[in-house]
Chains A and B, each alone.
Chain A
Amino acid sequence: QQQVKQSPQSLIVQKGGISIINCAYENTAFDYFPWYQQFPGKGPALLIAIRPDVSEKKEGRFTISFNKSAKQFSLHIMDSQPGDSATYFCAAGYRDDKIIFGKGTRLHILP
């Protein structure tokens, strides 16, 4: 019930394409869904987050889509660039409590 399942494990996208990473959760009590971006040798950095009362949130080229009934959410990176090559983690948690991370997706954007 506490798991967050993330797919795919790795993803290769052409420059300019759309990168899509999916996550699924089981615990309907989760009320906070962040995405983190991690470059080699660095700690994860908060990219964008969404609450379950919103179906979509967009920040620049990054969009989170949230499907409450399916208990799924996804990250879309539009016009993907080589600088977006990193590991992406989805997570889910409760307000004022710990968050559970997915296992990560290694994204590589081909130049």
Chain B
Amino acid sequence: KAGVTQTPRYLIKTRGQQVTLSCSPISGHRSVSWYQQTPGQGLQFLFEYFSETQRNKGNFPGRFSGRQFSNSRSEMNVSTLELGDSALYLCASSLTQGIEQYFGPGTRLTVT
């Protein structure tokens, strides 16, 4: 079974731009969660989607948004990028909500 895939793996953007990251969950998994990982803050929960509905949201500004498609693939978007948005963005999928999450390799976003 293929694991969680994320594209692109690396991205460099300029302040003020927007970015879209993509995540394909493990086949059959309906829940997709997104996390931001930075050296100082660790793994911070962004949001979770289950069956195309956002079920949980972390404490991030509205510039961070996401969606899930009918095939469970998910995208997250960050608008008006700031330097502090530089991080590793991780996607995790699970059969149902929350438990036994399997992570992708992440997208390394650098904002200059």
Q: Which residues does A use to contact B, with CB under 8 Å?
A: 32, 34, 36, 41-46, 49, 89, 93-104
Contact = CB atoms under 8 A, between A and B. Distances in A.
Interface stretch (B14-22, B67-75, B76-84, B99-107): B99-107
A44 to B, nearest CB: 5
B32 interface: no
A96 B97 contact: yes
Contact of A43 (B58, B99, B100, B104): B104
Nearest to B102: A46
Given A43-B4, A96-B99, A99-B98, A89 B105 contact: no
Contact of B42 (A46, A97, A99, A104): A104
A32 B101 CA distance: 12
Contacts, number: 59
Interface of B: 4, 33, 35, 41-45, 48, 56, 58, 90, 92, 96-106
A41 B103 contact: no
A43 B98 contact: no
B97 A89 contact: no
Given A44-B43, A103-B42, A97 B103 contact: no
B103 A43 contact: yes
Given A43-B106, A45-B103, A98 B33 contact: yes
Nearest to A49: B100
Contacts of B35: 101
Given A98-B33, A98-B56, A46 B45 contact: no
Contact of B98 (A36, A89, A96, A101): A96
